[in-house]
């Protein structure tokens, strides 16, 4: 089923209600996703972005509802990742006269994925393609979130198609932002930003500034995932500006891995200390929690408290994937601390502190260790630790 955005501009993509893991198995998608593809019928016909390979038939069927695919003159591939390019071999087979329009880096990465002898035209920022009544204007957007990423803007209808930017993994019955649950929409938009765009926040802020400076009228922002922003479309741009600034809330997240519940009891007592000082917190048992949701919690919070029992002179294995993400996502403006139970050697707290420091998160209070199970006195020390961290959480300033 297709949806007309404006006269002659159609959504022809696919809704993937069943998707629960994305990027292989690396990103959870509790609410599915969509692969948005846009067909523009002017004197020339352009298709902007395709869909993931398994949804090729749906894309082609949607295009055929509007026009014979052989009439497509231009196929824009704003980004070469497979969720947008997987259907390209079939699209290019059915549209043998089409030129494949890419960024300079896109020429290299599309070729690297598909090894086909397609007719490429590489665009740089400000380049224009005349379609007839309206034109496509291209803006390179490197590292939002791949080197090849590009935005396409349709003049006349004032539609910005920024590919992954401003997207959400959110399968819905309707295509527009004013037709869906706003809390769900923003939960998914934030999760998308936190998990995918955080390390590129400087580029996000700079690119938004560049695009706003062009003073292009924007009636619609049509990303490549999730709903299309037609009601107050700049709301998501302003939200991205806030997220790119990485100014966390005055809150904490306590993430722990435990073996026999001692570290969990420490986590609860530390949380009580935060609450006594009036700082909201969440506790996440990393072994049984969704890693990507935990990352969203970390993105929002000022203070990241990591806990682990010691196992084999190390942290528990279940916390390793999260530690890797914390380092790779390069969070800013956070403080941290570590805690954990141990039986004999007790290395985990020191290792967690070293990891926080290596991740650019300064340690705000020296770590807390308990041998075997925490005693009543040690649980009181955990509450004190929580209160001290709460005070540090409330202090203004940016330690990193
Ligand atoms: Fe939606 Fe970077 O692919």
Domain residue ranges in the chain: 3-245, 252-391
What pLDDT, on a 0 to 100 scale, did the predictor assign at position 397? 65
Nearest 5°: the CA angle 138, 24, 243 is 50
Confidence check: pLDDT of 399 > 50? no
| Residue nearest to ligand 1 atom 2, measured at CA | 81
157 lines ligand 1 (CB under 6 A): no
The tokens for 15 are: 């809704």
Confidence check: pLDDT of 98 > 80? yes
49 lines ligand 1 (CB under 6 A): no
Q: How many residues does the chain have?
A: 400
Burial of 312 (0-12, 13-18, 19+ CB in 10 A): exposed
Q: What percent of the chain has pLDDT over 70?
A: 99
- What class is the 3-245 domain? alpha beta
225 lines ligand 1 (CB under 6 A): yes
- The mean predicted confidence, pLDDT, of the chain is 97
pLDDT per residue as tens digits for the range 190-234: 999 999 999 999 999 999 999 999 899 999 999 999 999 999 999
**Alpha-carbon gap, residue 250 to 308, rounded angstroms:** 24
CA-closest candidate to residue 87, choices 61, 50, 113:
50
CA 82 to ligand 1 center in whole angstroms: 7
**Alpha-carbon gap, residue 144 to 243, rounded angstroms:** 14
What pLDDT, on a 0 to 100 scale, did the predictor assign at position 400? 43
Predicted TM-score (pTM) of this structure? 0.96
16 lines ligand 1 (CB under 6 A): no
pLDDT per residue as tens digits for the range 23-75: 999 999 999 999 999 999 999 999 999 999 999 999 999 999 999 999 999 99
pLDDT per residue as tens digits for the range 310-345: 999 999 999 999 999 999 999 999 999 999 999 999
Atom from ligand 1 closest to the CA of residue 163: 1
Atom from ligand 1 closest to the CA of residue 164: 1
Q: Do domains 3-245 and 252-391 have the same CATH topology?
A: no
CA-closest candidate to residue 15, choices 2, 33, 28:
33
Q: Which residues lie across from 14 on neighbouring strands?
A: 35
What pLDDT, on a 0 to 100 scale, did the predictor assign at position 396? 76
| Residue nearest to ligand 1 atom 1, measured at CA | 164
CA dist 188 to 140, 184, 193, 373, Å?
25, 6, 9, 39
**Alpha-carbon gap, residue 102 to 126, rounded angstroms:** 13
Q: How confident is the model at residue 256 (pLDDT cuts 50, 70, 90)?
A: very high
| Residue nearest to ligand 1 atom 3, measured at CA | 81
Atom from ligand 1 closest to the CA of residue 82: 3
Please give the CATH number for the structural domain made up of 252-391.
3.40.50.360
79 lines ligand 1 (CB under 6 A): yes
C-alpha torsion sign, points 6, 9, 12, 16: negative
230 lines ligand 1 (CB under 6 A): no
CA 84 to ligand 1 center in whole angstroms: 7
What pLDDT, on a 0 to 100 scale, did the predictor assign at position 25? 94
Question: Catalytic residues, which ones?
Answer: 23, 79, 81, 83, 145, 164, 192, 225
CA-closest candidate to residue 29, choices 358, 286, 292, 335:
292
Q: How confident is the model at residue 398 (pLDDT cuts 50, 70, 90)?
A: very low
Confidence check: pLDDT of 346 > 80? yes
Confidence check: pLDDT of 279 > 70? yes
What pLDDT, on a 0 to 100 scale, did the predictor assign at position 28? 98
168 lines ligand 1 (CB under 6 A): no
């Amino acid at each position: 089923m297709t949806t007309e955005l404006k006269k002659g501009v159609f959504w022809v993509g696919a809704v993937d209600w069943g998707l629960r893991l994305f990027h292989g198995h690396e990103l959870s998608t509790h609410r599915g996703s969509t692969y948005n593809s846009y067909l523009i019928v002017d004197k020339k016909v352009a298709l902007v972005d395709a869909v993931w390979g398994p949804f090729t038939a749906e894309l082609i069927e949607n295009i055929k509802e509007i026009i014979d695919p052989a009439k497509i003159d231009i196929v824009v591939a704003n980004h070469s990742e497979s969720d947008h390019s997987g259907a390209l071999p079939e699209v290019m087979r059915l549209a043998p006269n089409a030129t494949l329009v890419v960024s300079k880096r896109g020429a290299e990465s599309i070729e690297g994925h598909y090894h086909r002898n397609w007719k490429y035209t590489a665009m740089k920022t400000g380049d224009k393609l005349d379609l007839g009544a309206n034109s496509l204007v291209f803006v390179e957007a490197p590292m939002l979130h791949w080197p090849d990423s590009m935005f396409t803007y349709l003049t006349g209808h004032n539609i910005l198609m920024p590919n992954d930017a401003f997207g959400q993994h959110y399968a819905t019955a309707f295509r527009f932002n004013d037709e869906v649950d706003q809390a769900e929409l923003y939960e998914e938009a934030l999760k998308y930003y936190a998990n995918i765009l955080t390390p590129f926040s400087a580029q996000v802020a700079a690119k938004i500034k560049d695009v706003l400076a062009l003073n292009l009228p924007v009636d619609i922002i049509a990303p490549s995932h999730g709903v299309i922003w037609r009601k107050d479309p700049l709301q998501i741009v302003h939200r991205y500006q806030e997220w790119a600034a990485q100014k966390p809330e005055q809150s904490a997240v306590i993430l722990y891995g435990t073996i026999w519940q001692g570290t969990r009891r420490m986590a609860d007592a530390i949380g009580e200390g935060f609450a006594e000082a009036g700082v909201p917190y969440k506790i996440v048992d990393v072994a049984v929690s969704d890693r990507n949701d935990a990352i969203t919690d970390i993105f929002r919070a000022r203070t990241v408290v990591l806990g682990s029992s010691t196992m084999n002179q190390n942290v528990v294995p279940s916390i390793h994937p999260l530690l890797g993400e914390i380092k790779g996502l390069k969070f800013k403006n956070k403080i941290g601390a570590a805690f954990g139970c141990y039986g004999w050697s007790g290395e985990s707290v020191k290792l967690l502190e070293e990891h926080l420091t290596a991740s650019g998160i300064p340690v705000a209070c020296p770590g807390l260790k308990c041998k075997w199970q925490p005693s009543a006195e040690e649980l009181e020390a955990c509450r004190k630790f929580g209160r001290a961290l709460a005070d540090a959480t409330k202090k203004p300033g940016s330690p990193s």
